[in-house]
Amino acid sequence: MHPALTALLAARPVDLEAWRSWWDQLEHRTLGPADSDRAQAAALLAALATRLPDPATLTALLTSLTERTPHPGPTHPGSVNIVGTGGGPATFNLSTATALTAAAMGIPVVKTGSRAYTSTAGSVDLLERLGITLTPSHTATADHLAHHGIAFAGPHVYPPALTRLARTLYPLTLKPFGAFLNTLGPLIATVPVTAQLTGVATPTALDALRPLAPHVTTRTIWLAHNNAGADELLPFADNTLHTPTATIHLPAGSLAPRTGTLTDLAPHPDDLTGHFLRALAAQAGDTATHTIALNAAALALASGRHTHWNTAYTTALDALTDGAPRALAERLATTAAKAIHITRPAHRQEATRA
């Protein structure tokens, strides 16, 4: 049994060299026979998911993964990402709606996300249904951002070691360990942005991420949480933002009306894309509109585009009322559809027409 796994099972710290050794042996399949590799990989993830280890162990794990990830290239000035840890009350895809709203406000956005773990549909699931494609590389991300002001980054932003881990586990999947991977995922991703807003649903996850955030040196991390247990800012809840330089309190009703409940933000699995597009045009209820605007305002401040909450919030509301975020989403889907048509081989186009 590898020393990293032995230490985790005994609730002892795991240092950076032990994590490096773990990933090296996993890469070269030298943990043991195939069945042993799979068993050890599953046991290690189960140990991490059952009980979050001490901050030093998590910091070493984060470093061991990010140092193996290809460099994304230059950071895009004034750009942002918004991504949550999941695990909170079920809501529709607020972070994706916020990303499109911020982009419609003129803020460059590189959005990361995942498939559903506990939610009805994760951001990747939603984008697929909308017909919006993920970028396959950092070069494609930069190109997409330059043309559209927003890019939805594909799995290339995550360490290749995680892909090897998933292959080692097969036919097991990573889904049973989704809670842990979603908690650490926002910090593991290598995203070429200036700032990132990460919503945190649980106190346990917040306690784990706060000491980790300063170790992410490629972008400024803002951690958001509230007393409703959601991983988004909510207008009817008391919200707190932890930034590298300050703790910002946004009490219920301080910017947006404090009316509304989580029920107003519930997912619509039978009308996933229709409800989402209506929300992007301020047509899915006042609570949805104010929630998206509140989170977009936070992105505006994190990016440096705005310095006053009221101005940023009003600008976000104006964009939603004008329908600019919906128009952007529809334009991205149309562009993706045209790209697929252009790149499809001629014989396949003929077959489609036939």
| Sequence ranges of the domains in the chain | 3-66, 80-153+189-329
User: In this structure, are residues 80 and 194 in contact, taking their beta carbons and an 8 Å threshold?
Assistant: yes
Quick one: how many helices (H) and strands (E) in the chain? 15, 7
Res 72: pLDDT: 86
Res 331: pLDDT: 97
| Dihedral angle over CA of 313, 314, 315, 316, nearest 10 | 50
Residue environment code for 181-207, b if the CB has 16+ CB neighbours within 10 A, otherwise e: bbbbbbbbbbbbbbbbbbbbbbeebbe
Q: DSSP letter string over 267-286?
A: --GGGHHHHHHHHTTT-S-H
Q: Taking residues 324-343, what's their average pLDDT?
A: 85
Longest CA–CA separation in the chain, Å: 64
DSSP alpha helix (H) spans, 90-195: 94-104, 123-130, 138-148, 160-169, 178-188
* CATH 3.40.605.10 given to domain 80-153+189-329: no
Integer Cα distance of 338 and 330 in angstroms: 12
| Residue 78 pLDDT level (bands cut at 50, 70, 90) | very high
- Assign 141 to helix, strand or coil: helix
| Residue 180 pLDDT level (bands cut at 50, 70, 90) | confident
Encode pLDDT of 27-61 as tens digits: 887 665 656 888 999 999 999 988 889 999 999 99
pLDDT at 343 over 70: no
Res 353: pLDDT: 40
Encode pLDDT of 110-140 as tens digits: 999 877 655 567 888 999 999 999 999 999 9
Of the two residues 109 and 52, the one the predictor is more confident about is 109
The topology under which CATH files domain 3-66 is: 1.20.970
pLDDT at 23 over 70: yes
Encode pLDDT of 198-253 as tens digits: 999 999 999 999 999 999 999 999 999 999 999 999 999 999 999 999 999 999 99
pLDDT at 107 over 80: yes
Encode pLDDT of 307-329 as tens digits: 999 999 999 999 999 999 999 99
Most confident of 70-74, 168-172, 324-328, 334-338: 324-328
Integer Cα distance of 354 and 348 in angstroms: 10
**Region for residue 160 given its phi and psi (left: phi exceeds 0; alpha: psi -120 to 50; beta: otherwise):** alpha
User: In this structure, are residues 212 and 58 in contact, taking their beta carbons and an 8 Å threshold?
Assistant: yes
User: In this structure, are residues 187 and 59 in contact, taking their beta carbons and an 8 Å threshold?
Assistant: no
Res 174: pLDDT: 83
Query: What type of residue is 209?
Result: L
Res 186: pLDDT: 93
DSSP alpha helix (H) spans, 30-177: 34-50, 55-66, 94-104, 123-130, 138-148, 160-169
Integer Cα distance of 73 and 60 in angstroms: 23
Residue with tokens 């795991």: 14
Encoded tokens for 110: 């590189």
CB atoms within 10 A of CB 302: 27
Please state whether the predicted TM-score (pTM) of the whole model is above 0.85. yes
Residue with tokens 């950076």: 16
User: In this structure, are residues 272 and 126 in contact, taking their beta carbons and an 8 Å threshold?
Assistant: yes
Provide the pairing of β-strand 150-152 with 195-199. unpaired
Residue with tokens 């020393």: 3
| Residue 303 pLDDT level (bands cut at 50, 70, 90) | very high
Res 345: pLDDT: 57
Q: Taking residues 72-80, what's their average pLDDT?
A: 91
Encode pLDDT of 139-161 as tens digits: 999 999 999 999 999 999 999 99
Question: Among 26-35, 179-188, 276-285, whose mean pLDDT is lowest?
Answer: 26-35
Res 348: pLDDT: 52
Q: Taking residues 188-200, what's their average pLDDT?
A: 95
- Assign 23 to helix, strand or coil: helix
